[in-house]
Amino acid sequence: MSATGNRVGLPRDAYKGAATTLCAGCGHNSITNHMIKALHELGVEPHMLAKMSGIGCSSKTPAYFVETAHGFNGVHGRMPALTTGAHLANRQLIMLGVSGDGDTASIGLGQFMHMIRRNVDCTYIIEDNGTYGLTKGQFSATADLGSVQKKGAVNTFQPIDPCAVALALGCSFVARSFSGDGKQVVPLIKAAIAHRGTAILDIISPCVTFNDHDGSTKSYSWVKDHEESIADVSFIPFFEEVHVDYEPGTVRDVRLHDGSHIVLKKLGEDHDPTDRRAAIKVIEEGRTEGHLITGLLYVDAELSDFATTEHIPQRPLMDLGEEELRLSPDQFAQFVSEFA
C-alpha cells in the first residue's frame, strides 16, 4: 500500500462522506470513522459498495462515509429486505447494512432473523445504544432490565440480545464490539465484509444525549468498565501475506472464503470461534456476571450463502437482456400450444 493510495489507488479521503448531522460525541460517528478506515484499508471499490439502512440515527450514517458509493435509506426495520433484493439483482455488489437497536430489535426483528436464516451475503452492523435518539430517549428493546432512563424511569423488561438471537438462528458470523474500541471494531468490520454470508456485528455505541448517564448500561463509562474482550482480533486480507510470529497455542486462525484470515490472540480463557455452543455460553456467562463480552463470538466460513444456495449466477441478473431472459420464438410457440 502506497502512502497516497490503497490497493485500488484511492486515498483515505475517498472513503469520506457528507458531514455528520449526529450529536457531537455520538458513538455512531466513531463507527463511521472505523468504517472509513476499514473500507480504505480493504481497498473496497466505492462503486461496488452498496450502503443500506433503515430509519433512525444509525440509519443516517451511510451518508457520512464513501460519498461516491450508492446508498439506500429505506423504511424502518426493512433494511434486510432491500439488501436481499439488491444482492440478488447484482451479487457482485458489496452489501453493507447499517441499522440500530430500534430498527433491528423491534419492527425489524423478523427481517433480521430471516436474513440470517437465508445467510444473505452482507455485513449487518447494529449501532446499538439501547435508546430511541431521534424521538428523544425512549427505551429500545436492547435496553437492559433495570437500566435507568435519563429522567429516571427504570426499564422493566428483559433485553433482546441481537447476538444471542443470531447465534440461536445459526448465523454464520456473530461479533460484538464497542464504538470506542477501534482496534477491535476495524478488523471486525473487515472480517465481516470478507465473510461470505450474513455477518452480524453488534456495536455498543453510546448515545451521548439520551443514554450516557449513571444507571445506564449503554453509557461510555459503563461499557469501558465492563467490557471484556474474549480475544485480540486482527484481520489479514487475502492480498497480504500471513505473518505468523505468535507462540504456538496462543492464537486461533480462521480462514475465510476469499482467502483472508482472522487471527485471534488468546486473552483470558480460550474461546473457539467455530463452536456455537461455546459462543452461546460465553454470552450467557457475561450476562449473568454483568460483563459486556466483545470480540468475534462465532464464525462458520463454510455455510452456503443465499445466492449460492439459490444457484444465482455470478453475472449480475440486472445485466441480462432479452436474449437470456425471453423464451425463443420456437420455445414460445411450443409452450403456448400446450395450453390447448
Q: For another protein, what does the binding mask look like between residues 2 and 41, x meaning CB under 8 A?
A: ----------------x-----------------------
* From 1-9, 35-43, 192-200, 325-333, span contacting another protein (CB under 8 A): 325-333
Longest Cα–Cα distance in the chain: 76
Query: CB 319 → another protein: shortest distance, Å?
Result: 8
- Phi, psi for residue 277 in degrees, rounded to 5: -65, -40
Q: CA 228 → CA 5, 14, 121, 201, distances in Å?
A: 35, 34, 29, 16
- Closer residue to another protein (CB): 55 or 236: 55
The answer to the question of residue 135 lying near another protein (CB under 8 A) is: no
The answer to the question of residue 75 lying near another protein (CB under 8 A) is: yes
Contact 292, 223 (CB under 8 A): yes
Q: CA 96 → CA 51, 53, 149, 185, 310, distances in Å?
A: 5, 9, 31, 15, 21
Kindly state the cell numbers that stand for 291.
460483563
End-to-end CA distance of the chain: 66
Query: CB 318 → another protein: shortest distance, Å?
Result: 3
- Closer residue to another protein (CB): 130 or 162: 162
The answer to the question of residue 324 lying near another protein (CB under 8 A) is: yes
The answer to the question of residue 134 lying near another protein (CB under 8 A) is: no
Half-sphere exposure of 233 (CA within 13 A, CB side): 28
* From 180-188, 229-237, 282-290, 313-321, span contacting another protein (CB under 8 A): 313-321
Q: For another protein, what does the binding mask look like between residues 98 and 117, x meaning CB under 8 A?
A: ------------xx--x---
Q: For another protein, what does the binding mask look like between residues 52 and 71, x meaning CB under 8 A?
A: x---------xx--xxxxxx
Pick the binder of another protein from 36, 93, 96, 163 (CB under 8 A). 93
Sequential DSSP letters for 113-135? HHHHHHT-SEEEEEEE-SEETTT
The answer to the question of residue 97 lying near another protein (CB under 8 A) is: no
- Closer residue to another protein (CB): 3 or 340: 340
- Closer residue to another protein (CB): 118 or 213: 118
Give the C-alpha separation, 215 to 275, whole Å.
34
Pick the binder of another protein from 84, 209, 211, 219 (CB under 8 A). 84
Give the C-alpha separation, 89 to 194, whole Å.
20
The answer to the question of residue 168 lying near another protein (CB under 8 A) is: no
* From 35-43, 129-137, 219-227, 311-319, span contacting another protein (CB under 8 A): 311-319
* From 76-84, 217-225, 265-273, 293-301, span contacting another protein (CB under 8 A): 76-84
Give the C-alpha separation, 23 to 29, whole Å.
9
Contact 33, 66 (CB under 8 A): no
436474449: which residue's cell?
A: 323
The answer to the question of residue 304 lying near another protein (CB under 8 A) is: no
User: 13 burial class (0-12, 13-18, 19+ CB within 10 angstroms)?
Assistant: exposed
Give the C-alpha separation, 242 to 28, whole Å.
32
Query: CB 205 → another protein: shortest distance, Å?
Result: 21
The answer to the question of residue 90 lying near another protein (CB under 8 A) is: yes
Pick the binder of another protein from 29, 33, 39, 74 (CB under 8 A). 74
User: Interior CA angle at 124 toward 228 and 250, to 5°?
Assistant: 35
**Residues that bind another protein in the complex, under the rule CB under 8 A:** 18, 45-48, 50-52, 62-63, 66-75, 78, 80-90, 92-93, 110-111, 114, 307, 310-313, 316-322, 324-327, 329, 331-333, 335-340
